[in-house]
Amino acid sequence: MRISHPDPVLLAVLAAVLVLVSTPCGLVAQTDPGSPLLSLGPLTSEEGAPLQRLGLTPSMEGATLTPRGRVQADVWMGYSSIWEQDSSAVANVFLDLERLITAVTVRVGVADRLELGARATVERTGGGFLDRGIMRFHKIIQMGDRRRPEYPRDAYGQWLRDADGTLLVEVPGRSVPTLEDVRLFAKGSLFASGDRRSALTVKAEARVPTAANTLGEERADVGLTLLGQTAWRGFYVHALLGGTTVRRSPELVAVLRDRQWVGMLGVERPLRPGLSAVAQLTGSTQLLRDFGDHDVDGALTNLIFGLAGRTGGGWRWEAGMQEDVPPRGPSNDFAVQLSLGRVW
């Protein structure tokens, strides 16, 4: 299956993001200590490795809450390219796909220190069109592609086999958008400064999978994360730390761990009122265990950078890019993401 080419306007917007994010600090508007610029970060993101998504992948988000009596709705879209082929005495994994994830989230401020929310995740996958461009990009930055050049371009495959060749997981391509999961969450405030520049919150979340794979049944999982932010010398620092359960189906007990840990550390630079540049590093422990290759069963790390903005009428937007760092393991090789939301 082939996914249609992106709109040139989208590519132009993303190119502008790269230029603006790399703007020297000397051009950044200075913050008046008497009226500090409020935080707009971090950028919304989550781990994109397909095997990780057999369980709950916590969303990287800010520590602030939806105000009491208000409703916030967000639509987040991420388009990614993923490639990985590795085999060992334990298992054989093959991932070659491009994927569009659309997440629609609604939050309600039910009390001064509590918000409740729900999210629906829709995915579309296929062979795509980015392979050649990504391989050229990796060559320019000298990151390499391992065995990727030996395989057909823009093809699709997503499966995991054990050492005997028995198929453990196979995820069919989604030629039409498919509802992958529904998530319910509660987010409560542990601390918030009077000037709204520092905050600490806790989030409890449950995921119910809704799309069946050919093999490798998914089950409901729960997670708990701690989110924080603080202001520091004209910057904001964002952090997240948490863990989730992985309720494995019987055929996956031997190859998948029963939990995962996640973390994020980000820096935000306010450029002017309603506009910030953000860069963040995320990490996650790998679900695949005892594979015998650190590139496959080691920790997954990703660099995300871009812009976050707020306009009149309660509107908020984000535009960013994601790259796996280092470029090894079954994570996103490359991803672009856009988000649009509003508070009523």
DSSP 54: G
In a domain, 62, yes or no: yes
Residue 214's pLDDT is 57
pLDDT bucket at 297, cuts 50 / 70 / 90: confident
Distance CA 23, CA 137 (A): 22
Strands (E), 20-164: 71-87, 91-111, 114-126, 157-162
Q: What is the pLDDT of residues 101-118, one digit of tens each?
A: 999 999 999 999 999 999
Residue 147 confidence (pLDDT)? 64
Strand pairing report for 178-192 and 91-111? unpaired
Phi then psi for 197, rounded to 5 degrees?
-95, -20
How high is the pLDDT of residue 149?
Answer: 60
Which pLDDT value is given to residue 127? 77
Q: Does 295 score more than 70 pLDDT?
A: no
The answer to whether residue 40 is domain-embedded is: no
pTM for the complete prediction? 0.82
Give the span between the Cα atoms of 242 and 263, in whole angstroms.
Answer: 6
Largest CA distance in the chain: 67
Looking at every residue in the chain, the average pLDDT score rounds to: 82
What does the block give as tokens for 250? 């019987």
Residue 51: the pLDDT is 78
- The CA-based angle 275-64-284, given to 5 degrees, is 90
DSSP annotation of 148 reads: G
Q: What type of residue is 81?
A: S
Q: Read off the pLDDT of residues 25-44 as tens digits, 9 standing for 90 and up.
A: 433 444 444 567 899 999 99
Report the amino acid identity of residue 5. H
26 lies in some domain: no
**Residue 206: inside a domain:** yes
Q: What pLDDT score does 202 carry?
A: 98
Residue 215 has pLDDT above 70, yes or no: no
84 or 283, greater pLDDT: 283
Structural domains in the chain (count): 1
Q: Which long-range contacts (CB under 8 A, 24 or more apart) does 297-303 make?
A: 298/329, 300/47, 300/49, 300/52, 300/324, 300/329, 300/330, 300/331, 301/325, 301/326, 302/45, 302/47, 302/48, 302/331, 302/332, 303/279
Residue 181: band (very low, low, confident or very high) from pLDDT cuts 50, 70, 90: very high
The verdict on residue 167 lying in a domain is yes
* Range in 117-126, 179-188, 208-217, 251-260 the model is least confident about: 208-217
Q: Determine, yes or no, domain membership for 109.
A: yes
- Whether the ω angle into residue 24 lies within 30 degrees of 0, i.e. cis, is no
Mean pLDDT of the region 188-213: 92
Structural domain of residue 291, as residue ranges?
A: 8-21+46-343
Identify the pLDDT of residue 95.
82
Mean pLDDT of 139-166: 70
Tell me, yes or no, whether 31 lies in a domain.
no
313-340 confidence digits (pLDDT tens): 899 999 999 988 876 666 676 789 999 9
161 DSSP β-pair partners:
92, 167
CATH assignment of the domain containing 226: 2.40.160.40
Q: Is residue 98 part of a domain?
A: yes
